[in-house]
Structure 1
Amino acid sequence: MLILQNITYIHQDKDLLFGNINLTVNRQDKIALIGNNGSGKSTLLKILAGLLKPAEGTVKSEDSIYYVPQIFGQFNDHTIAQALNIDKKIKALREILDGRMTEANLAELDDDWTISERSDEALSHWKLEHLDLSQRMESLSGGQKTKVFLAGILIHKPEIVLLDEPSNHLDNQSRTILYDYIRSTNNTLIVVSHDRKLLNILDTVYELSKKGISVYGGNYDFYAAQKNIEISALNETLRNKEKELRKAKEIERESLERQHKLDARGKKKQEKAGLPTIVMNTLKNNAERSTSRMKDIHAVKVDAIAHDLSQLRGALPDVDKMKMGFDNSSIHKGKILVTAENINAGYNGGLLWKTPLDFQLISGSRISIQGVNGSGKTTLIKIILGQMIPRAGVLHRTENSAVYIDQDYSLIDNSLNVYEQAQQFNSGILHEHDIKIRLNRFLFGKNDWNKQCVNLSGGEKMRLMLCCLTISNQAPDIIILDEPTNNLDIQNIEILTAAINEYQGTLLVVSHDSYFLEQINIEKVITLN
């Protein structure tokens, strides 16, 4: 069992990340921990793992905990054994087997005589049998590094496992092994992930936000259905509040018009009655004060409704606030853009693919490129873009415009600020005011326009990239997405999905995220072997 009591975490700059988190995790619970980027999911996992200390509160557990971190190169200076925290045991075992059975070595080994065999079996389970424990982590791919830490579960045999984006760098084969583990294990699991297929395997969804943790008693699809109900109710309340605001403004206008007519009739009667000037001025001042009071009363009511409306709009998910507006007018569906006839790429003097590739890219089609890590997906993209020539076969390309968007959004120039980056895609048709309207549509307000692109999160870079595409005079004939969901939270994946589904051109996607591929209506798969 894992118990969190009043957990609060404050950044070094004194900003509150989350506060008063109370949570009880029972044995064999399988929990998905989700939330927007910056909500503190990874921080909370590190607190549970004992790697960070909260500003307030306590974490209690009598069970052993194992933590699989999100991989971004932070272990490059470690050997595999060091990363798995078994290097001292392995060293002690080897020295004992070499005849140096010292008290220090026996104490370090702590009767764990099977540590070497378990390590070999664990690495083999994750298809890493070719690796040596003394090998440095920097020599491994992102997927291999993740699998090293996943192998640690079999080595350490903990009761509680914390997983931070475990499927991020894994190919489909490795994801299948991960999914099978999650389904079959008796471990208690807390998983941070944007992989919705993985999230659907878990029993309960915990959503972390500024408000704390909200519990949804089901998998991700159940959570999404409940959120849709909440959003539908919010939209209905929003519509009702908009009607209320229009009605209040209408009543305000009618009341003031009626008051003006009454004042005008009263003035005519007073003039006919021949009242003295001083009396006329007094009556005029009284009428003006009455009208002013009426204006104030209506203004307060309208302002209050407008304030409520603003708060309701602020509570809408970002995907519901955005307007994409791709200009697809130049795209001609059915046009053949690329034809590949028995093409193959070169690799160490030989050919890369066992089976040559034959395919066509037809305008408006949606195609996924699939293959294990190292199968040549990026190579094929370069061939399609005309950046490489195939070693064998023929590739025919008609005149077309293509945009290649990698997972790091390298088209974004980190030396520019947000507004300058948007201007880079302006063909000269849009004025400054129009550019800023487009940026607002993609949730970049006035305070963001001077923000340096280098400081943007993955989700922000994705939104800015989409904004730049809408600023261009015409949508490209082909958009190529290379692992587009790797650095995005679920909310930003939904934004990307909505944008891509408005685009009418040719879509070519490299992704291991089967849920995302289903959502964007992939029609055909090119499989590399």
Structure 2
Amino acid sequence: MRTSLSVHDLSFTWPDGSTVVTGLDLAIGPGRHGLVGLNGSGKSTLLKLVAGQLTPTTGTVTTAGTLAYLPQDPGSDPRRTIAEVLAIADTLAALSRMEAGDVRESDYDVIGDDWDIAERTAAELGRLGLGHLELDRTVATLSGGELVLLSLAALLLRRPAVLLLDEPTNNLDGEARARLIEAVAGWRGTLLVVSHDRALLNAMDDIAELRGGEVRWYGGGFDAYEAQVAAEQEAAERAVRAAETDVKAQKRDLVESQAKLASHARQGRARAARGDLPRILVGGRKRAAQVTAGRVTGVHQERLAGAASRLDEAEAAVRDDREIRVDLPDTAVPPRREVLLLEGVRPAFGDLELDLDVRGPERIGLTGRNGAGKTSLLRTITGELAPAGGRIEMKVPWRYLPQAMDLLVPELTVAENIARIAPDASETERRSRLARFLFRGRDADQPASTLSGGERLRATLASLLLAEPAPQLLLLDEPTNNLDLPSIRHLVEALRSYEGAFIVVSHDERFLDDLELTRRIQV
């Protein structure tokens, strides 16, 4: 199969000296390919390197044909129109002039081969559920999910040979996700997708896992990948148990052989002391015994070293995906204590109006279509937006996790960011607390600007929960965006162990099911 995208001897190091990949080789042909890996493994960085958003330290990237790239959070000037985001405004204007009889030579260059751009645009927008959008509408009026789909439509209209998508289902409701997955399933070029969305990954032809700076391929979608990894881990754990048994056996044999040699030596010394043997014969036997002892001990030590080496190899094959731990008693809320009261609250954006009484350690999920006003509601509760109507009464300390996760100061390290929000805690206490969120040792000294999406969420979550005073209410807006699947499981465990109340906005149905919510509110 021909190669559409190739990476040779690719290395990249951040300015602070932290290395993401070293000597990476990768070749991808036509088809739909998923890319998975732990947070911080370098998935998004790899896409940026391939897309030319970052310059590799060494190595080359080669693509056959045009390449298009959709980042995790495709921002846009809110004043731009939909036609401008789609990059068709000039082409439509040129076509309009020609239809009016105003023929200009330069317009032929603007139009190129896009004489059917209006029809193709309407079809693409309709396929992605955006057919209701007028081309002169501004980006400021769109929801986050609509902007993602619009940005994807802009790429699809360019008909690239290679398409890179980084977490494209972030912020999408169930219907929008289904439309995006359908569009991806019909892709006929070369597609590389970084995602934690199981349904999207199951639409892939194969899955590539980036781990330890190397890429390994698995045939089939995500379910097949998980089954293969589970089988590998079962075999690896069996190998560890066998290697541990072998190490114990070799240690036992070494001890037993040394005990026998020591016994023989004692017997020889006793016979020599009694004068049973001539002195010259005693000396010869002693030297021979020493040679034999050295040889026997060397053999057993070599066998033990070999067994220990096999154990190291077996243990290296077992994955150690650490877990987030949250055990913060100050966040606890007594049952039935009133936490938040909303009476007829109407956010400034969307058509939502809500009455809500949150008590005790309730877990509330807020779901609904893109543009319904869920994010606006959270921003209204926090006071970031003024309500269009209604009353809000906050009864406990709270913290808000926005979609943008922009609570960290980029120039500061993770530890320095935590020091900002918990100034009264000692350095040792802050480091100990950060370790619960998997920032141990040098990991806590990384600048926030160099963190991956998942690492940034962990650091942000740490800054929320370790703040002073301790929050007894969390407001979470799409917290699984940019998280790999192990981290989503860890986040579920963290929120389950959190003793306060929370309201979470999410389109991730599996995530919401796993949280074991006390209430779901459809808006």
Measure how far apart 1:404 and its partner are.
Answer: 4.2
SS of corresponding position for 2:312: helix
2:367 is matched with which residue: 363, 367, 370? 370
Equivalence for 1:190: 191
Whether contact under 8 Å (2:195, 2:201) holds in the other structure is: no
Gaps of 5+ in 1: none
Question: How far apart, CA to CA, are the structure 1 residues paired with 2:467 and 2:313?
Answer: 33
Equivalence for 1:343: 343
The 3 A distance-change label for structure 1 pair 395 and 336 is: farther
TM-score (norm 1): 0.74
SS of corresponding position for 1:488: coil
Whether contact under 8 Å (1:369, 1:509) holds in the other structure is: yes
Instruction: After superposing the two structures, state which structure 1 stretch, 204-213 or 281-290, moved more.
Output: 281-290
Question: How far apart, CA to CA, are the structure 1 residues paired with 2:272 and 2:418?
Answer: 64
Equivalence for 1:221: 223
Equivalence for 2:181: 179
Whether contact under 8 Å (1:417, 1:449) holds in the other structure is: yes
Equivalence for 2:16: none
Measure how far apart 1:335 and its partner are.
Answer: 0.9
Matches within 5 A, 1:410-425: 416-418=412-414
Equivalence for 2:317: 315
SS of corresponding position for 1:253: helix
Matches within 5 A, 1:113-192: 113-116=115-118, 118-119=120-121, 122-123=124-125, 125-126=129-130, 129-132=133-136, 142-152=144-154, 155-156=157-158, 162-182=164-184, 185=186, 187-188=188-189, 190-192=191-193
Question: How far apart, CA to CA, are the structure 1 residues paired with 2:69 and 2:498?
Answer: 37
SS of corresponding position for 1:148: helix
The alignment-based identity, stated in percent, is 25
Equivalence for 2:208: 207
Amino acid at match of 1:316: V
Equivalence for 2:482: 487
| 1:354-382 CA-partner distances (Å, limit 9, x unpaired) | 5432344442x432122445544355546
| 1:334-358 CA-partner distances (Å, limit 9, x unpaired) | 812436666233545xx97654323
Measure how far apart 1:202 and its partner are.
Answer: 0.5
Whether contact under 8 Å (2:414, 2:447) holds in the other structure is: yes
Measure how far apart 1:484 and its partner are.
Answer: 1.6
Measure how far apart 1:99 and its partner are.
Answer: 3.9
Whether contact under 8 Å (2:146, 2:370) holds in the other structure is: no
SS of corresponding position for 2:170: coil
Whether contact under 8 Å (2:347, 2:377) holds in the other structure is: no
Equivalence for 1:3: 3
Between the two proteins, the alignment pairs up a number of residues equal to 510
Is it true that 1:102 corresponds to 2:92 in the alignment?
A: no
Q: CA RMSD in A?
A: 5.0
Measure how far apart 1:101 and its partner are.
Answer: 1.1
Equivalence for 1:32: 34
Whether contact under 8 Å (1:34, 1:206) holds in the other structure is: yes
Matches within 5 A, 1:354-369: 354-363=352-361, 365-369=362-366
Whether contact under 8 Å (1:161, 1:187) holds in the other structure is: no
SS of corresponding position for 1:358: strand
Question: How far apart, CA to CA, are the structure 2 residues paired with 1:435 and 1:295?
Answer: 49
TM-score (norm 2): 0.74
The 3 A distance-change label for structure 1 pair 455 and 105 is: closer
Question: How far apart, CA to CA, are the structure 2 residues paired with 1:467 and 1:436?
Answer: 11
Amino acid at match of 1:241: A
Whether contact under 8 Å (2:399, 2:471) holds in the other structure is: yes
| 1:27-68 CA-partner distances (Å, limit 9, x unpaired) | xx544343445445674698599999994686547xxx6735
Whether contact under 8 Å (2:21, 2:42) holds in the other structure is: no
Measure how far apart 1:18 and its partner are.
Answer: 6.1
Whether contact under 8 Å (1:344, 1:352) holds in the other structure is: no
Amino acid at match of 2:344: N
Measure how far apart 1:207 and its partner are.
Answer: 0.9
Matches within 5 A, 1:295-334: 296-319=298-321, 322=322, 324-327=324-327
